Structure 1
Amino acid sequence: MAQTHNPELSADLYDLLNGRALETKQHEAMMLMTVTEEEWPHTAMISVGEIVALDSRRVRLALWPGTTTARNVIRTEKATLVLVLAGQVHYIKLQLTRLPVLPAAKHPRERFEAEIAAVRSDTAPYADITTGIQIELKDGESVLRRWQETLAELLL
């Protein structure tokens, strides 16, 4: 059953994306949906180390330069973030603006700030949604350090 909410993150979504306690969130992955030049949907996986909520209405994203996803976002300035949390699938429409490149970035990324255009949450009355995409980091300590540094650079 789909419900459309105000264009802002719920407390649960904000807590997931706030950039804090990454070690407790390291297994969470999300899908970032964009549209290619050929008008095909394109899906990329992102982690809690590549997105940070500034507040309930704005997030910042760090995307790998030169990727299809980064090119799509630069071209359209739109994306949809899809994630599972607390038994619901959340679809968060983002209106993005490209941020300046950080010349001295430790982890060079295309950086974007996004206004949340809409949030839709979905449940199924006949089934419980128990999990979304889960990952297992191969070198957790190194990845968590990179994520913390990437999020710190996103906040500049």
Structure 2
Amino acid sequence: MSDPSSASTSARALEQVTFDEWPANVRALLDGSLLADKAGFTASLLTVDANGHVRTSLLSVGELYAPDSRTLCIALWPQARATRAIEQSGRAALSFVCDAAFYQVQLRVTPLPGVADDDSGLVYLLGSIDTAEAQSVRYAHLTGGITFALQGEGNAVLERWEQQVEYLKRAAAASSR
């Protein structure tokens, strides 16, 4: 007969995986394609401002693009607190839920020059993975994190996302030359 306390312990065991390259499922989520199908996904971008306060910006797939296995392009509004905090520290953390696991990725962030015909007013940033981990437990699967549903002008938002991600793709391609 097995020890019930050990079975209970293994059922609660935290599975933690560290990585320095985007797992395939996350890369597919952030590949800039099929944005309408991925609408509702939200990632929290965490920064620390000059006063030591943690700030959170909620980002969609229309503001994130992973051009390769180790980087993440981010589009932010210039007046966002996160933009100012990143300019000061060069660091941010991105957290989100994907495929029943919680992800937290520490990023080193630098400016990413925009594209010549980009009139969006957005600030583009290039993050590289510093450290990252995914956590899950066997007894419970995360079914979502912070999610949203587009309302009203949803089609206009999707069009804007398509354009933003296209700018991120072009800026990422230009920076790798």
TM range (shorter): over 0.9
Alignment partner, residue 155 of structure 1: 169
Q: Tell me by how many angstroms 1:124 deviates.
A: 3.3
User: Aligned pair 1:143/2:157, yes or no?
Assistant: yes
Q: Tell me by how many angstroms 1:128 deviates.
A: 2.5
Alignment partner, residue 34 of structure 1: 47
TM-score (norm 2): 0.83
Please give the alpha-carbon distance, in whole angstroms, between the structure 2 residues aligned to 1:70 and 1:60: 13
Unaligned runs of 5+ in 2: 1-13, 171-177
- Residue-by-residue CA offset, 1:62-116 (whole Å, 9 max, x unaligned): 0011110100111111111100011100001111111224464231111111111
CA contact (8 A) 2:42 2:96 kept: yes
Alignment partner, residue 117 of structure 1: 130
Alignment partner, residue 58 of structure 1: 71
- Residue-by-residue CA offset, 1:7-55 (whole Å, 9 max, x unaligned): 1110000000000000100111110000011111111100000010011
Question: Structure 1 stretch 127-136 or stretch 142-151: which is displaced more?
Answer: 127-136
CA contact (8 A) 1:50 1:151 kept: yes
CA contact (8 A) 1:2 1:120 kept: no
CA contact (8 A) 1:90 1:120 kept: yes
**Higher helix content, 1 or 2:** 2
TM-score (norm 1): 0.93
User: Aligned pair 1:8/2:21, yes or no?
Assistant: yes
Please give the alpha-carbon distance, in whole angstroms, between the structure 1 residues aligned to 2:32 and 2:155: 16
Q: Percent identity?
A: 29
Unaligned runs of 5+ in 1: none
Q: Which runs of 4+ in 1 moved over 4 A?
A: none
Alignment partner, residue 3 of structure 2: none
Please give the alpha-carbon distance, in whole angstroms, between the structure 1 residues aligned to 2:102 and 2:158: 25
Q: Tell me by how many angstroms 1:127 deviates.
A: 2.9
**Higher strand content, 1 or 2:** 1
